[in-house]
Amino acid sequence: MSFIDTLGGLVKGVGGFLRSNSLGSNLAKSALYGFALNKVLKSIQKDQDANQAKDQGTQVSVNPDPKNSVPVVYGTAYTSGIITDAHMANNNTTLWVCLTLSEKTGNKIGGTPSIINFNEVYYNGFRLDFKADGITVDKAYDDSGNSTDKFSGLIQVYPFNDGSLNPTTFTTESTGNSSNAYDIMPSWSSTDRMDQLVFAIVKINYNARSRITQVGDFKFKLTNTMSQPGDVLFDYMTNTRYGAGIPQAEINV
């Protein structure tokens, strides 16, 4: 029998001695039931505190959606991308996520290759700043410029601008990612190439106090060197991967 059941029986039994309608009897009943409710609430709080003390992480469900499409970024844009892979480790206390942010765009009309750069990254509305390694989060800033270190050391961001073999660095950092993606993401091998894709691998360490208990909302500021309308139109018209696939010979540039 549970604590609550036992307490309920006690209240019912004592209530048998307080069946009169006198003011004193009613006050006694109110006091008794108030005492019982207080005991129940304390018991529930104790159980909740015990469960929090035993917290071993969290489980995250990421539903596959074949309808998700990879964005194409021209000029400067903010994008959250799509989750294309996820992996839990360390007894559900570490989450690895691959966020695919954009297709790798082609050449400009003059033949110069376009390059997509990583400018900034935001987490749940906070702009993230990095430690000296250019990968591990140090401070985070809100819209008013106020800083916090609640995410410090708990998140790492590894950017790539053209497949797994092309690690890159945030433009705000002097150093950064230099590893192949399949050497970072658990369960990946050299066959996981992510060719012609701009993406980031994010490592998130579970921390209830800092409210890191799920993937959260990541948003990246990207800048593509292809921004002129003519270059953009030409790229989209001729690209056979995400565009119209029109032969270049049929276009009078």
pLDDT by residue, tens only, the chain of 253 residues? 443 444 344 444 444 444 455 555 555 555 555 555 565 555 555 555 555 444 555 555 555 556 678 999 999 999 999 999 999 888 888 999 999 999 999 999 999 999 999 999 999 999 999 999 999 999 999 999 999 999 999 999 999 999 999 999 999 999 999 999 999 999 999 999 999 999 999 999 987 776 777 778 899 999 999 999 999 999 999 999 999 999 999 999 8
Domain boundaries, the chain: 3-53, 76-248
The pLDDT, as a whole number, for residue 67 is 66
The pLDDT, as a whole number, for residue 242 is 94
The pLDDT, as a whole number, for residue 40 is 53
Residues across the chain: 253
